[in-house]
Amino acid sequence: MLVVVFIVVVVTTSYAVSAFLRSRRARPEPLPAPDHLFFVFVVPCLNEELVIEASLDRLLGLPSDNVAVLVVDDGSDDRTAELVEARQSDRVWLVRRELPNARQGKGAALNYAFRFLRESGVLDGHRPEDVIVVVMDADGRISQNALVEVAPYFADPKSAAVQVGVRMYNRDASLIARMQDLEFVTFTHIFQRARQRTGSIGLGGNGQFNRLTALADLGDEPWTDCLTEDLDLGVRFLINGWVNHFCPTADVSQQAVTSVRRLLRQRARWFQGHLQCWRFLPMLLRPRRMGRSQANELAYHLSSPVLVLGMTPPVVAFLGVFAALLITDPGAAGRSLLAHQGLGLAVAYVLGFGMAALYAFVYWLTEDSVGLGRAFAYAHLYCLYGYLWFPAGWTAVTRVVRRRRTWWKTARTVDANVAQ
C-alpha cells in the first residue's frame, strides 16, 4: 500500500519538477502584434446586479478603442438586464435569454452569444479572423496590459486561443481564498507554462481569448454542455489542428470561494467535467493532427483524475492506521517515525510535502506581498488543502453513476470593494 503511494508520488513529483524546469526556459520573442484585432468580451450573467456595472466600467476602461462588451443575460430575475440596458451603446451590447430556454448552462449561453456575433451584423467591417471573443466572468478583473500582451499570439494564423493567468482578487480575505490563489498560480506558472512547450495548453472559463474563425471551425455550437466547457473547447481546438497559447504576463482576477462546502461542490463539478472529457482519450492515443509529445501531455492531464481516485484508498488506509496507532500507542507511533535515524519521518514528509519548496518558490516570485518564509508556510498548507480533491472526486464519481449532471451556480460573496 505504502509502496503504491510512494511510486505515484515519485512519478507526479518528477513530472512537476520537469514542468518547472521547462517553465523557466526563456520564451521565444513574440511576433509583431497583428493590426486591427477587435476584442469582444462576452460576459454570461445570471443574477449579477451586484457586479455587472463595475465590470462594464473596467472593460470599457481598457486602453483600446477596439473593444466591445456583449452581455448575455441568462434569465436573470434581478436587475442585471436593466442595468446593462441603461448602458447600451455601440460598445455595449445586450442579448437576453428567457426561460424556459435560459439557464441551460454556460456553454448554451456562450453559443447564443456566438450566433449573435455571426448573424446580427454588429461585426460588419471586421474580418472574422481579426475578431477575438473573450470569455469573462461577470466579476472578472482583467489586467490593464492584457490586450497588448495577448495580441502577438494571434499573429500566427493557426492560433485558436490564448489563456491568461488567473488570480483571486480576495486572496487576503481568508486562508481558503489564499489556497485557491496559490493553486491557480502554481498551475498556470508551472504547468501551463511548461505545456506551452508541447502545445498542449488548456483553457479556463475566465480570461479565455478565442479567435472567431477557430470557434466557427468547430461548428454552429462550439461550446458543448460539458460541465467544464472551457476544458472541452481547448481540447477540441487542439484535436482539430489549432494551437492554444498561455500568456504569463497578463492575468484575470476572480473571486475565490470562501466556504469549504461551496468549494467542495465547485471542485466536484470541475472533476465531473474532467471525467466527461475522457471521451477524447482514444483520439489522443492515435492523434491525426497533433504531435506525439503534445498528445501525450494532454492525455496525462486529462487522465489525472485517475491519480486522485486511485490514491484515495491507500492514503485513507495509511492515515487511518497511523491515527489508530497514535491514539492507542503514541510512543510506538513516534518511534516508527524516528527509527533508522528518522527515515520514517523523512519518508512521511516527502510523501506529504515533497512539492512544498517548489510551490513556495513559484508563489514567492509571483506574489509581491508574500515573503519567502510565508510562502513556504502557505505551500505546506496547500499540500494539505490538496486533499480536498479526494472527497470532491468521489462526489463527482457518485454523480456520474447516478447520471446527475445539473449543478447550481456557485454563489457569489458580496464584495465591499466591488467597484474597485
Q: What is the pLDDT of residues 8-24, one digit of tens each?
A: 778 888 888 899 999 98
- Between helix 2-23 and helix 356-366 the angle, nearest 10°, is 30
Average pLDDT over residues 208-216: 99
CA distance 48 to 45: 6
Average pLDDT over residues 390-410: 85
Strands 38-45 and 67-74: parallel
CA distance 7 to 14: 11
313 C-beta neighbours (distance < 10 Å), count: 12
Average pLDDT over residues 176-183: 98
pTM value surpassing 0.95: no
Strands 131-135 and 67-74: unpaired
Cβ 265 vs Cβ 407: under 8 Å: yes
Handedness of CA 261, 203, 168, 360 (dihedral sign): positive
Angle subtended at Cα 417 by Cα 205 and Cα 71, rounded to the nearest 5 degrees: 40
pLDDT digits (tens, 9 = 90+) for 315-370: 888 778 778 877 888 877 677 767 766 676 777 777 788 899 999 999 999 999 99
CA distance 410 to 269: 10
What pLDDT is recorded for position 80?
96
Q: Where in the chain is the domain with CATH 3.90.550.10?
A: 38-262
Cβ 239 vs Cβ 280: under 8 Å: yes
Strands 159-168 and 141-142: unpaired
What pLDDT is recorded for position 331?
77
What pLDDT is recorded for position 347?
72
Closest alpha carbon to 364 in 379, 348, 347: 379
pLDDT digits (tens, 9 = 90+) for 71-112: 999 999 999 999 999 999 999 999 999 999 999 999 999 999
Instruction: Classify residue 25 as exposed, middle or buried by CB count within 10 Å of its CB (0-12, 13-18, 19+).
Output: exposed
Instruction: Provide the CATH number for the domain formed by 38-262 in this structure.
Output: 3.90.550.10
Confidence of residue 1 (pLDDT cuts 50, 70, 90): low
Q: Please report, rounded to a whole number, the percentage of residues in the chain having pLDDT higher than 70.
A: 94
Which residue's entry shows cell 486511485? Answer: 310
CA distance 115 to 362: 41
Residue 81's φ and ψ, nearest 5 degrees, are -65, -40
Which residue's entry shows cell 516508527? Answer: 336
3-class SS of residue 189: helix
CA distance 283 to 129: 27
Cβ 351 vs Cβ 9: under 8 Å: yes
3-class SS of residue 20: helix
Per-residue pLDDT at 418 exceeds 60? no
Per-residue pLDDT at 188 exceeds 50? yes
Query: Each residue of 73-106: b (16+ CB within 10 Å) or e?
Result: bbbbeebbbebbeebeeebbbbbbbeeeebebbb
CA distance 275 to 269: 10
Q: Which residue has the higher pLDDT, 231 or 323?
A: 231
Per-residue pLDDT at 413 exceeds 80? no
pLDDT digits (tens, 9 = 90+) for 266-275: 999 999 999 9
pLDDT digits (tens, 9 = 90+) for 134-153: 999 999 999 999 999 999 99
